[in-house]
Amino acid sequence: MGWPGYIPEDENEEQLIRMELAKMNLIPVFLTAEDLEGYYEGFSNKVLWPICHYRLSYAVFEKSYWLAYQKVNQYFCNIVLKQNITSKDELRVHDYQLMLLPQLLRQQRSDLTIGYFQHIPFPTDEIFRCIPWRNELLKGLLSADLIAFHTYHNAPNFLNSCLNILGLSPKNNSVRCRDRCVHVEVFPMGIDFDKFKALSCSEVVLAKAEVLKDQYQKRKLILSIDRLDSSKGILERLSAYESLLQQYPELRNKVVLYMLVVPSRDTVTQYKLLRGEIDRMVGHINAVYGSDDWTPITYFYNSLPVEDLSALYIAADICLVTSLRDGMNLVCKEYIASKAQDYNGVLILSEFAGAAKQLSETIQINPNAIEDIMQAMHFAIYMPKLERQQRMRSNVSMVKKFNISHWAKLFFARLHEVKREQEASASRKMQGATLQRLIDKFQQA
């Protein structure tokens, strides 16, 4: 179930979308333009996203956003409960747009098993407590049975919020809330490795990659791909690239930064401003350093079919990920999977991307240290082939092993286990209560 990403014109269109999605076993939750403004652009993108990405100054704590967020979470709850859900089913709630949903469901159905997965970081309690509605959000989540994140440090951050904001007493990786034990655990998400590997061998993709290589000839191709978002460190990356061209003039005309930015949330002011700033910096670098036969940056602001993405991954000598914060970052894993044939590529990865915790054989950088990004690019450009391949081989084996099915299996199996633990504990409680009643009766007699 989810928002289909579109507002239907009328009921006929709504019905049509409903029928098309039903073929894939999907159920749409339709939202109005007004809902989207307050709930998605407002609370999700102007409160939770900046707070969870440590961008306190970007947060806008508008009461109307909060009201819309509550309303839409309730709306999701109503539609979930309209389905024929039995206590045997397990519900999995995805991401920060639905933090209140576990509690709303629990209030109606105490028998449900609910897992929640947060795809973005969970910040330290000192940041999270800035949200005026932090208690409600935490309580919303604490009605889940299993709360999961991509990487390790998010779990203690969440548990510290339970301790320092709600005054609960977490123990190891769980916290008791009312009479329930809520488990807080970590499941790093992977990608469909086989799909990206297969794409990288397909004729169509290889032909596209050849065209790219011809276009850039012997120049080193540095690739960056991300959604338009200040959390991706796009401006920092551009500054570092400019420093590289300044500090190492011999690299001019020998490298190209191929920067692909996917349109995202462009109705939100901060995103519009960011886009303008990127345009300005790209224009500046190309004008100052470019020559008749060389443009330092190739920049596109659009979405691409997966075959084109795959061709870019194959053609790129270096992939540069500079996220200031990133729950996981799948682009870097897709790049690695696309190198599973010849292991010929280098990944520069921000230490603030969740993926950095798994991919130790990458060149890791602090994206706030422009000089370090610049030196990392220089190092990557001159890295000997043997070292490139050794590092990439190790990264490939990680991405291959911890793929998306592995993630799904672990998360679902754990939720299943939690459900069984809870059933066992409920039955122990029942037995205890029965025994107590007998003892009371005996004593009275």
Ligand X SMILES: O=P(O)(O)OC[C@@H](CO)O[C@H]1O[C@H](CO)[C@@H](O)[C@H](O)[C@H]1O
Ligand Y SMILES: Nc1ncnc2c1ncn2[C@@H]1O[C@H](COP(=O)(O)OP(=O)(O)O)[C@@H](O)[C@H]1O
Query: Which residues form the interface with ligand X (CB under 6 A)?
Result: 119-120, 189, 264, 326-330
Which residue, 73 or 329, has its beta carbon nearer to ligand X? Answer: 329
Tell whether residue 103 is a contact of ligand Y (CB under 6 A).
no
| Nearest residue relative to ligand Y (C-beta) | 330
Cα 416 to Cα 421: distance, rounded to the nearest angstrom: 9
> Residue 233: left if φ>0, alpha if ψ -120 to 50, beta else—which one?
left
Binding mask 194-233 for ligand Y (x = CB under 6 A): -------------------------------x-x------
Tell whether residue 303 is a contact of ligand Y (CB under 6 A).
yes
Minimum distance from residue 263 beta carbon to ligand Y (Å): 9
Shortest CA distance to 278 belongs to which of 222, 242, 238, 244?
A: 238
Minimum distance from residue 310 beta carbon to ligand X (Å): 18
Considering only 331, 336, 359, 373, the residue that binds ligand Y (CB under 6 A) is 331
User: What residues are paired with 60 via a beta bridge?
Assistant: none
Tell whether residue 404 is a contact of ligand Y (CB under 6 A).
no
Tell whether residue 309 is a contact of ligand Y (CB under 6 A).
yes
Torsion, Cα 319 325 327 328, to 10 degrees, reads 20
Cα 150 to Cα 189: distance, rounded to the nearest angstrom: 6
Minimum distance from residue 354 beta carbon to ligand X (Å): 6
Which residue, 268 or 297, has its beta carbon nearer to ligand X? Answer: 268
Question: With CB cut-offs between 5 and 8 Å by kind, which of ligand X, ligand Y, none does residue 225 bind?
Answer: ligand Y
**Longest CA–CA separation in the chain, Å:** 103
Which residue, 330 or 418, has its beta carbon nearer to ligand X? Answer: 330
Minimum distance from residue 231 beta carbon to ligand X (Å): 7
| CB 174, CB 184: distance < 8 Å | yes
Residues 251-270 that bind ligand Y (CB under 6 A): 260, 262
Strands, sheet with 346-350, edge to edge from the N-terminal-most edge strand:
297-301, 255-262, 220-227, 318-321, 346-350, 363-365
- DSSP helix/strand/coil, 124: coil
Minimum distance from residue 378 beta carbon to ligand Y (Å): 25
Question: With CB cut-offs between 5 and 8 Å by kind, which of ligand Y, ligand X, none does residue 304 bind?
Answer: ligand Y
Question: With CB cut-offs between 5 and 8 Å by kind, which of ligand X, ligand Y, none does residue 334 bind?
Answer: ligand Y
Minimum distance from residue 275 beta carbon to ligand Y (Å): 14
Per the structure block, which two tokens stand in for 186? 């970590």
CB atoms within 10 A of CB 36: 17
Tell whether residue 362 is a contact of ligand Y (CB under 6 A).
no
Cα 70 to Cα 101: distance, rounded to the nearest angstrom: 9
- DSSP helix/strand/coil, 218: coil
Cα 148 to Cα 415: distance, rounded to the nearest angstrom: 10
Question: Which residues form the interface with ligand Y (CB under 6 A)?
Answer: 225, 227, 260, 262, 303-304, 309, 328-331, 334
